[in-house]
Amino acid sequence: MTAILPYAPQIAQKHMLSLKDYSSEEILELLELAVELKKPENKTLPLLEGKVLGMIFEKSSTRTRVSFEAGMLQLGGHAMHLSTRDIQMGRGEAISDTAQVLSGYLDGIMIRTFDQATVQEMADHSSVPVINGLTDDFHPCQVLADLLTIQEHFGSCAGKKMAYIGDANNMANSLMIGAAKVGMDIAIASPAAYAPKPEMVELAQAIALKTGATILVTTDPVEAVAGCDVIYTDVWASMGQEAEALERLEHFQGYQVNEELAAHANPNYIFMHCLPAHREEEVSTGILEGPHSVVFQEAENRLHAQKALLVALMAGQ
């Protein structure tokens, strides 16, 4: 690979289950490779020629499916969509059996599911790399794209401040970890009933101690946004929480990212959202579609960040 690209990452990890498993240096090297692969002249380098990625979906997807599939094609490989409605795992076949069978056919497995334990069990029994495409606990691939986007805008993530407003879900967990890993301060503002789990905060704080980052958890959105460089939000009811949508709508009143709240950020702040967005719920239309919004650049960067991850994990297999 080094003969084709001037930069090759040194990644010790076999899988991508969560960013907590990656060192700060490994994350920065993945971002550097993503920068290289995003250059137009490197779009179709055949770094994964002949490789096949199996993509297991228990949760529906737009960005995850299309970005991984397009990424594998651009790298000279192939991606295979495996809905749990179509494979035996959806009919009760053991995850361990599925992992061992697929390992004999594929060069990598991406799985988008509910329980983090499912991804962990898949990795425990797989002889090929397993990538967490999303669980209820973590969304590491999205955060790689987020960090790439922040780096593109500010030159570096280190020393910047992010404010995450809303439900302390898988995105909040992964953003806390990712921000801490690269030395970026982060403030999470959520209603008390939807605050981050203490173990997730403790994990992020332990990482932050090593990088000089700070972690703030508050119920006050204004406190979180004050002086920040990045404002981030997500839907108030994620997949699987549809029955709670009306109740959550009441709890999150006052947590909308709008022009009034954004006025407390730095003048050159950027607005981010992992999408899909619900206009006039977690974010006003003016912010989502306004001059500070980078949500579509962020969405595109899923492709480039994941291509870097695929190359790092699969090129040497």
Residue 125 known to be catalytic: no
118: annotated binding-site residue? no
Residue 139 known to be catalytic: yes
Q: Catalytic: which of 107, 137, 146, 234?
A: 234
157: annotated binding-site residue? no
Q: Catalytic: which of 112, 125, 248, 273?
A: 112
253: annotated binding-site residue? no
Residue 241 known to be catalytic: no
62: annotated binding-site residue? yes
SS in 3 state form for the chain?
Answer: CCCCCCCCCCCCCCCECCHHHCCHHHHHHHHHHHHHHHCHHHCCCCCCCCCEEEEEECCCCCHHHHHHHHHHHHCCCEEEEEECCCCHHHHCCCHHHHHHHHHCCCCEEEEECCCHHHHHHHHHHCCCCEEEEECCCCCHHHHHHHHHHHHHHHCCCCCCEEEEECCCCHHHHHHHHHHHHCCCEEEEECCHHHCCCHHHHHHHHHHHHHHCCCEEEECCHHHHHCCCCEEEECCCCCCCCHHHHHHHHHHCCCCCECHHHHCCCCCCCEEEECCCCCECCCECHHHHCCCCECHHHHHHHHHHHHHHHHHHHHCCC
44: annotated binding-site residue? no
239: annotated binding-site residue? yes
18: annotated binding-site residue? no
238: annotated binding-site residue? yes
Q: Catalytic: which of 74, 125, 137, 139?
A: 139
Residue 274 known to be catalytic: yes
142: annotated binding-site residue? yes
Residue 112 known to be catalytic: yes
Residue 302 known to be catalytic: yes
* Residues belonging to the active site: 112, 139, 142, 234, 274, 302
| Binding annotation for carbamoyl phosphate | 61-64, 88, 112, 139-142, 274-275, 302
| Binding annotation | 61-64, 88, 112, 139-142, 170, 234, 238-239, 274-275, 302
| Binding annotation for L-ornithine | 170, 234, 238-239
